[in-house]
Chains A and B, each alone.
Chain A
Amino acid sequence: MIWVIGIGGSLGAAVRFVVGYLVSKGTRKENVFPLGTWIVNITGSFLLGLITQLHFSNDISEWLWFFGGVGFCGAYTTFSTFGTETITLIESNKINTAAIYVATSILVGIISATIGFYI
C-alpha cells in the first residue's frame, strides 16, 4: 500500500512542477502573485473533495483512494511553498499581495473542496 502512495506522490510532485513551470513562463517577474501554487492548491482541493466523497461512499477502491487522494492530491498541493511564498512577498513589502494570496488561497481552497465534495 505504501508504494501506491509513493507512486501517486511522485506523479503529484511532477504535475505540480509542470504546472508551476507553465504558469511562471507567462509571468516571469519575481515577487508577483504566486499564481502557480495558487492554481495547484485550488484545483487539488477540488479534486481531493471529489475523491473524498467517492471514498466515503465506497465508490472507489481503497487502492485508488491511497493513490489519488493520499498520494497524488497530497503531493500535488503544497502548504510549505504557500508559506515561504507568503514570506517572500512580505519581505519585499508586498503586504497587500501577501494578504490577498493567503486569504484567497484558503477561502477559495475550502470552497472548491466543498464543491468537489458535493458535486
Chain B
Amino acid sequence: MIIGGFFGSICRFALGEWIHINNGFPLGTFLINLIGCFFLGWFLTFVNQKGIIKPEFALLVGTGFVGSFTTFSTFSVETLNLFREGLIFMAFLYVLASTVLGIVLAFSGYKLALKKTQVM
C-alpha cells in the first residue's frame, strides 16, 4: 500500500505537470480524479467478484495507488483559489463537474465490471 502511495503520488504530479492550460480551470486534478473514480469503481467490483486477486494486491492498487493518485485536498484548495481570484462561475463548474462526472464514472466502472463477469 505504501508502495502504491509512492507511485500514485508521483503519477499524479507528473500528469498534473503535463496537463497545463492557462484559463484557470484545474484540468489536471479534474482529469486525474475522474480517471481514478472510473478505475476504482471498476477495480473494486472486479476484485470482489473474482476473488482470485490477492487482498494484498487489491490494497496496493486500490487503497495505495488509486487512492493516492486522486486527491480531495487539492480539489478543495483549487476551488478556494478560484473563488479568491473571483472566478466564481469557474469554481462552481469545477465542483459540479468533478462531483457529477466522478460519481457517474465510478458507476460506469462498477457496471462495466459487473457486465464482464456476467459474460464470463
Chain A interface helix/strand/loop/mixed: helix
Question: Contact check: which of A6, A47, A117 meets B6 at CB < 8 Å?
Answer: A6
Q: CB distance B103 to A74 under 8 Å?
A: no
Chain A residues whose C-beta falls within 8 Å of the C-beta of B7 in the assembled complex: 6
Q: Which residue of A lies closest to B5 (CB)?
A: A13
Range of interface residues on A (Cβ < 8 Å): 35 or more
Assuming the contacts A9-B10, A52-B77, A102-B103, asked whether A78 and B5 have C-beta atoms less than 8 A apart, the reply is: no
A36 → B minimal CB distance (Å): 11
Chain B residues whose C-beta falls within 8 Å of the C-beta of A77 in the assembled complex: 71-74
Q: CB distance A17 to B106 under 8 Å?
A: no
Q: How far is the CA of A84 from the CA of B110 in the complex (A)?
A: 8
A-B contact pairs, 27 of them (CB 8 A): A9-B6, A10-B2, A11-B2, A12-B9, A12-B68, A13-B4, A13-B5, A14-B1, A17-B63, A49-B76, A71-B9, A74-B12, A74-B13, A74-B71, A74-B73, A75-B67, A78-B70, A79-B75, A80-B33, A80-B69, A80-B70, A81-B67, A84-B37, A84-B41, A86-B103, A106-B95, A112-B76
